[in-house]
Amino acid sequence: MDLVTIVPLLLLGVVFYMLVLRPQKAKQKAQAQMIAAVGPGATVMTTAGVFGTVVSTTDDELRLEIAPGVVIRMVPAAIAKVIPVEDPDDDTGDGPADLSTPDSLDDSAK
């Protein structure tokens, strides 16, 4: 094989690595770090969409309370994301919005 046929194959391999393999490895690393950081008391969502609070963890399983008194066993890889704890004192305006607007037509304009 001459250089003209090898170079496009090498470029294709590099592009495949950059677009597919590298992002996948980064995603796996981030998932592993998230799972390692999960501890008792953390609220999580599983890959099945179940929300719960972590009761205990080991290397190969965790116990998740999904309702008062209902605890299930799961593998840590089933955690999709950790739900951040909301600060009850944080007043960001998440409550009902004040939709009242000043009246644009007043009697003095007549």
Per-residue pLDDT tens for 12-29?
A: 999 998 898 888 999 999
Per-residue pLDDT tens for 44-62?
A: 999 999 999 999 999 899 9
Find, among 50, 47, 84, 42, the residue nearest to 67 by Cα: 50
- Rounded to whole angstroms, how far apart are CA atoms 30 and 38? 13
Residue with tokens 């770090």: 33
Q: Which class is domain 3-85?
A: mainly beta
The pTM assigned to this predicted structure is 0.59
| Per-domain boundaries in the chain | 3-85
Q: Which has more confidence, 42 or 101?
A: 42
Residue percentage of the chain with pLDDT more than 90: 45
Strands in 51-57's sheet, in edge-to-edge order, are 70-74, 62-67, 51-57, 43-46, 79-83
